[in-house]
A and B are shown apart, each in its own frame.
Chain A
Amino acid sequence: MKCNQIKEKFSDFLIGEIDEIKRKGIQEHVTVCNSCREELETLSAIWAKLGVLPEEQPSNNMRTRFYATLEKYKKSLEQEKERFHLGKLLVGWVERWMPRRPVFQFSFALLLLVVGLAAGYFFHSSWQRGGEIAELRQEVLQIRQIAALSLLRQESLNERLKAVGLNSRGEQPDEGTLASILRTIGSDTDIYTRMATLDDPYLFPGFSIVKEELAQSLSEQTSPLVEVALALVHHIEHLK
């Protein structure tokens, strides 16, 4: 055998995982090859020397810690089992009350549905009777008007345009909102905002002050586009 093939078997030789034929082959080779003999001797010496490293014993603390951890884990498992047991009891209780035959199960489910619907209807009507919905609607309206007012005062053209129509859902605006709208039509720096504000549908539910203010505004407008739009608004109102 060549030196390389012999050296490949050195680790097997050291650990003892080698058959007799291979062992003899190595031993015969090293008697005639100085290089392989020296390497095997060095390896064997250091392998044997490692035997002086003693097996150490851990402290008793390690055992104590392990048993404490195990105990804690066992307890958590038992608690989990108890919870599972309670769950099973509940399921068992429900099962006891549940009819066996499918037709009765269906009837029972139907009954539960009817009871649920009736209860829902009852609570819904009592809630409506309380006038809470109307109250909520009023609050939403107020919030919308505050938002519109705030947007009309913004520097940004986009923000002011957003305000148009925000609080118009057919409800009557309060005086502050109305004044703010009319002020926008009369004096906003941007003509498109003025025109868009004119389209606000809640300008026309018959407020005399609106008509007067719009007439006043017509004489003060500088933009022909806004003047035409205002004139059209007046004309439509007269037709009504």
Chain B
Amino acid sequence: MNNATDNHLMEQVRDGKVERLAIIFERYHVMLYNFFLRLTYNRSLSEDLVQDVFIRVLKYRSSYQGQDKFTIWLYKIARNTHIDYLRKRKDIVLLDEQLDKIASQEPLPPEKAEQAQEILRLSQALAKLPLKKREALILSRFQDLKYKEIAELFGCRIGTVKVLVHRAIKELGKAYLELSGGVAS
């Protein structure tokens, strides 16, 4: 196992030892894949986006200064990759449609039916949130980023992130309740 810090590895990549990027890839590709998957609900697209992130890391390796925490730098690239994708694609499949497709395609085994339904409803509710709220919630809940780090990533104050997350959870709860057949308060 390699114990080198992310920062040190990235500095080596910057200085020409590009093969060291393999260690970074092994550490972060699953994390990035899940980040994109929760934003797009499309597996092959998420894999493409992860690939694109690492191509960008190679492309911009000389600009790495190491002032930011490495994961913040990586997430900055990931967010830009996703935003560029949204800008370029005119024929973008709406997230809801993507989820409906999943629901209709994947037959659910009876013993896991209830949990699978729960996952689907939560994903659909999550997909209804505006992009920034969804990002804030995903980053804080699933990607283990602190509010301070998310604020750094978004370029805003910590208070703004806290409000974003708070509202995102409230809206998510409302959407989940509606999808479950309950009445939103």
Contacts and interface: CB of A to CB of B under 8 A. Distances in A.
- Majority SS at the chain B contact face: helix
Nearest to B31: A55
Interface stretch (A40-48, A96-104, A125-133, A168-176): A40-48
Contacts of A46: 169, 172-173, 176
Given A11-B162, A42-B173, A69-B55, A58 B19 contact: no
Contact of A10 (B47, B166, B172): B166
A77 B16 contact: yes
Given A52-B118, A55-B30, A58-B30, A74 B166 contact: no
B18 A77 contact: yes
A208 interface: no
A69 B29 CA distance: 14
Contacts of B162: 8, 11-12
A77 to B, nearest CB: 6
Interface residues of B, number: 39
Contact of B50 (A10, A57, A58): A58
A53 B123 contact: yes
Interface string B48-84: 0011001100100000000000000000000000000
A141 B18 CA distance: 65
A191 B87 CA distance: 68
B154 interface: no
Contact of B119 (A8, A15, A53, A62): A53
Given A47-B169, A62-B33, A66-B29, A15 B47 contact: no
Interface of A: 7-8, 10-12, 14-15, 17, 39, 42-43, 45-47, 49-50, 52-59, 61-63, 65-67, 69-70, 73-74, 77
Given A42-B173, A58-B47, 14 more contacts: A8-B166, A11-B163, A12-B162, A15-B147, A15-B165, A43-B170, A53-B119, A55-B30, A56-B33, A56-B43, A57-B33, A62-B33, A62-B50, A69-B58
